[in-house]
Structure 1
Amino acid sequence: MNKNLLLGAVLAAALSASPALAANSAFGCKHLEDNPTLPSVEGRDGFFFRIFADLRMQHPFTEDTVAQMGKLAEALKTHGTTMLYVPIPTKSVTLPTFLPDEAKLFGFDEDVAVAVYEDQVARLNAKGVIAVDLLSALRTTNGGDPPFFRSDFHWTSRGAETAAQTIGGMIKQLPGYADVTPVNYETKATGAELAVSGMRRTLQAYCVLSLPPVISTSYETVEVASADASLDIFGDSGGETEGAANDEIALVGTSFSDALVPNFSGFLAQYASLPVANMAITGGNQFGAITSYLTSREFQADRPKFLVWENPIYNNLAQFGTGSLTELIAAARNDCQPVGNTPDIDKAKGLYQADLTGTPITPNQVLLADAGDNGSRDVVLNFESTDGRTFTREVHRGDRFRGTGRFFIPLESLDSLELSKVSIQFDRLSEEKATISLCNT
Structure 2
Amino acid sequence: MLMINEKTQLVASVGFMCSLCAVGLSTHILMDQPTVNGSVIDGAMQSIYEASFVDANPLNNVSISVMGAIKYAAFKQAEQGAIVGNDGWLFTSEEFEVGAKFQENISQSATEIARVKATLEQKGIKLIPVIIPDKADVYPENLRTARPSEIKTRRDDLLSQLATRNVVTLDAFKALASNDVGGRAFIKDDTHWSPDGSRAVAEMIASHLTNLDITLTPATVTTTQGPTIDFDGDLLQFVPTGALRPTFGPEQNQIDTYTTTVETAGGLFGDANVDVALVGTSFSAKTEWNFPGFLQDALGADVLNFASEGKGPFAPMHAFLASDTFQNTPPKIVVWEIPARYTSKEMNQ
Partner of 1:98 in structure 2? 142
Partner of 2:287 in structure 1? 260
Match of 2:261 among 206, 212, 222: 222
Match of 1:172 among 210, 215, 220: 210
Partner of 2:219 in structure 1? 183
Partner of 1:32 in structure 2? 77
**Is 1:79 aligned with 2:79?**
no
Alpha carbons of 1:310 and 1:293: their partners in 2 closer, same or farther (altered >3 Å)? same
How far apart in 1 are the matches of 2:329 and 2:286? Answer: 26
Q: Which has the higher contact order (CA 8 A, sep 6+)?
A: 2
Taking structure 1 as the reference length, what is the TM-score of the superposition?
0.57
**Is 1:136 aligned with 2:136?**
no
Partner of 1:385 in structure 2? none
Provide, for residues 357-413 of structure 1, a one-character-per-residue CA deviation record: whole Å limited to 9, x for no partner: xxxxxxxxxxxxxxxxxxxxxxxxxxxxxxxxxxxxxxxxxxx9xxxxxxxxxxxxx
Provide, for residues 275-328 of structure 1, a one-character-per-residue CA deviation record: whole Å limited to 9, x for no partner: 1111111112132322222112332111111111112111137614xxx7xxxx
Alpha carbons of 1:15 and 1:119: their partners in 2 closer, same or farther (altered >3 Å)? closer
Partner of 2:85 in structure 1? 43
Contact 1:15–1:21 under 8 Å retained in 2: no
Q: Which moved more, 1:144-153 or 1:159-168?
A: 144-153
Partner of 1:210 in structure 2? 249
Provide, for residues 91-144 of structure 1, a one-character-per-residue CA deviation record: whole Å limited to 9, x for no partner: 1011111112xx12xx445xx655431332233134232311111221114863
Match of 2:154 among 116, 119, 128: 116
Partner of 1:291 in structure 2? 318
How far apart in 1 are the matches of 2:343 and 2:184? Answer: 26
Taking structure 2 as the reference length, what is the TM-score of the superposition?
0.70
Residue 163 (structure 1) shift:
1.1
RMSD: 3.7
Contact 2:83–2:91 under 8 Å retained in 1: yes
Alpha carbons of 1:133 and 1:273: their partners in 2 closer, same or farther (altered >3 Å)? same
Matches within 5 A, 1:29-428: 30=75, 32=77, 35-36=79-80, 38=81, 40-51=82-93, 53-56=94-97, 60=103, 61-100=105-144, 103-104=145-146, 107-108=147-148, 113=151, 115-141=153-179, 144-175=182-213, 177=214, 179-195=215-231, 197-205=233-241, 209-223=248-262, 231=268, 245=273, 247-316=274-343, 319-320=346-347
How many residues are treated as equivalent by the alignment? Answer: 288
Partner of 2:57 in structure 1? none
Secondary structure at the residue paired with 1:130? Answer: coil
How far apart in 2 are the matches of 1:139 and 1:170? Answer: 18
How far apart in 1 are the matches of 2:111 and 2:316? Answer: 21
How far apart in 1 are the matches of 2:11 and 2:225? Answer: 42
How far apart in 2 are the matches of 1:16 and 1:69? Answer: 53
Alpha carbons of 1:63 and 1:48: their partners in 2 closer, same or farther (altered >3 Å)? closer
Alpha carbons of 1:140 and 1:167: their partners in 2 closer, same or farther (altered >3 Å)? same
Alpha carbons of 1:120 and 1:25: their partners in 2 closer, same or farther (altered >3 Å)? farther
Unmatched runs of 5 consecutive residues or more in structure 2? 14-68
Contact 2:109–2:343 under 8 Å retained in 1: no
Alpha carbons of 1:292 and 1:225: their partners in 2 closer, same or farther (altered >3 Å)? closer
Unmatched runs of 5 consecutive residues or more in structure 1? 1-7, 234-242, 325-399, 401-441
Alpha carbons of 1:21 and 1:282: their partners in 2 closer, same or farther (altered >3 Å)? farther
Q: Which has the larger strand fraction?
A: 1
Secondary structure at the residue paired with 1:155? Answer: coil
The residue type equivalent to 1:164 in the other structure is: A
Contact 2:278–2:335 under 8 Å retained in 1: yes
The residue type equivalent to 2:332 in the other structure is: K
The residue type equivalent to 2:307 in the other structure is: A
The residue type equivalent to 1:42 in the other structure is: V
Alpha carbons of 1:30 and 1:13: their partners in 2 closer, same or farther (altered >3 Å)? closer
The residue type equivalent to 1:170 in the other structure is: H
Contact 1:89–1:134 under 8 Å retained in 2: yes
